A and B are shown apart, each in its own frame.
Chain A
Amino acid sequence: MKIGRKRKGKAEIPTSSMSDIAFLLIIFFMATTKFDVKEGIKIVLPQASEKQEGETQSLTLTEKEMTRLQIIADGQIVVNKEAPRNIESGELDALIQQKVKVNPDMIFKVITDREAKYSEMVRVVDRLKAAKIEKISLSTN
């Protein structure tokens, strides 16, 4: 019987399946990744007015300078001093364009009743934003 020295095998880590594992992990992260960018209507609120007497500055604006869009409880809209009525988005767009034609720097004041739906306010502000109106005032009542 021949007794000889055992041949030593080279020690190595098998890496052939490394890319398979990596790709499996990639698929997992691709499937679960959510780029959480928020989307919405951005607006800047006015500063809180000082309640102390003498510090409040009152400014009177005419209809040529400011349009009041008052949303009442049932969703109808009062434009300035007109009678309340249901105004569809298309009609609202036309009305905004008409007001901007008279005065390109027109300020739109959106006054929403406390009982009105939030979505009604968003709809009106959305139409104003769509018409590229910069001067939007939101009331807090």
Chain B
Amino acid sequence: MRAPFLVPALLRFPGSSARQDSWGRLLKITAGGAQLSTAAPLAKGETVQVLFELGGEKLRIPARVTHASRDDDGQPLADLAWSDMVERRRLARVLLEVLAKS
């Protein structure tokens, strides 16, 4: 299923990385991870906290960058794997609810 919009996400980095908050669009969301298009270049292995809203629920899920590349427009693209099992289960429930309603 494809949502009629791209889910915007706020990106927060660990204090140790001394990086400013950034933002991006989630191109794909699954219970295990996501694909993110962002203006901030991300590196493989980097951790980032992703804050977004889905199905009326606010989610804040720590993730690890499993693959980093650039899209055809030269914009950074990252594959993320959710690293918090509790939040991951919550996201799975939200996804099921959203998909059941569609």
Partners in one complex: no
